């Protein structure tokens, strides 16, 4: 079985003024209204953790968070359970869920998450499985990321590099499109 424990972080633009605690009722509302494709279960507050996961929405297949790793806020979605055979299909699934959640956050009415914007000038793709992926350039991670990036941005429309960080961090790649794409545009390209 191929790698399936992919995660994606969509970096938020100028989101430092947002009090992450404002997301707790937003995420609870998503659970109550069934706004996600996932079976959403609970909300967890990790705002006390420096550069931690912030506020998390726990779901059956994966978890959502507005995290603050490396001091940069962004929406994270990572898969916990296999939903496909893995590889590129799992990565597409993860990116699709992250883009849908980002679109929901951008549409939230004030005063909460309406200040969040995800310009998609940079994305981070990571593997949450050290047994399957040794480092960021491991083909199990880099291969599906290159394939999907080529589909979304064209063969020369992006840069891909290992994310800098402590070697104890999970293996991650930074994907920088040559030109930013809107959330809806990427969702359409994924569907194609």
Q: Tell me: the pLDDT tens digits for 28-66?
A: 999 999 999 999 999 999 999 999 999 999 999 999 999
Structural domain contains residue 140: yes
183 in any annotated domain: yes
Decide: residue 11, CB within 10 A, 0-12 exposed, 13-18 middle, 19+ buried.
Answer: middle
**Mode of pairing for the β-strands spanning 6-11 and 74-79:** antiparallel
Domain of residue 122: give its range: 6-191
In the predicted model, what is the mean pLDDT of residues 95-110? 92
169 band by pLDDT with thresholds 50, 70 and 90 = confident
Task: Name the burial class of residue 26, with classes exposed (0-12), middle (13-18) and buried (19+) by CB atoms within 10 angstroms of its CB.
Answer: buried
At residue 114, the pLDDT reads: 61
Q: What local confidence, expressed as pLDDT, does residue 111 receive?
A: 65
The number of CA neighbours under 13 Å toward the Cβ of 65 is 24
Integer-rounded Cα Rg, in Å, for the chain is 16
So what's the pLDDT on residue 113? Answer: 58
Domains contained in the chain, number: 1
Residue 94, domain member (yes or no): yes
With cut-offs at 50, 70 and 90, classify the pLDDT of residue 140: confident
**Assigned domain for 61 exists:** yes
Q: Tokens standing for 168?
A: 């104890």
3-state secondary structure of 161: strand
Q: Residue 133: is its pLDDT beyond 90?
A: no
In contact, 51 and 42? CB cutoff 8 Å: no
Overall pTM > 0.85: yes
What are the Cα distances from residue 64, in Å, to 7, 170, 185? Answer: 10, 17, 21
State the pairing for strand pair 123-127/172-177: antiparallel
Residue 1 lies in a domain: no
Q: Is residue 101 included in any domain, yes or no?
A: yes
Has residue 24 been placed in a domain? yes
């Amino acid at each position: 079985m191929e790698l399936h424990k992919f995660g994606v972080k969509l970096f938020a633009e100028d989101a430092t003024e947002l009090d992450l605690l404002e997301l707790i009722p937003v995420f609870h509302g998503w659970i109550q209204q069934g706004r996600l494709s996932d079976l959403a279960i609970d909300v967890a507050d990790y705002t006390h953790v420096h550069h931690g996961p912030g506020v998390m929405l726990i779901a059956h297949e994966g978890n959502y968070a507005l995290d603050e790793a490396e001091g940069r806020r962004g929406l994270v979605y990572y898969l916990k359970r296999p939903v496909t055979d893995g590889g590129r299909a799992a990565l597409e699934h993860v990116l699709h869920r992250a883009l849908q959640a980002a679109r929901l956050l951008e549409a939230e009415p004030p005063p909460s998450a309406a200040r969040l914007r995800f310009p998609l000038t940079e994305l981070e793709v990571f593997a949450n499985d050290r047994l399957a992926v040794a480092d960021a350039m491991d083909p199990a991670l880099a291969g599906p990321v290159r394939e999907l990036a080529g589909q979304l941005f064209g063969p020369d429309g992006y840069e891909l590099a290992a994310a800098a960080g402590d070697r104890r961090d999970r293996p991650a790649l930074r994907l920088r499109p040559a030109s930013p794409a809107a959330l809806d545009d990427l969702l359409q390209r994924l569907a194609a």
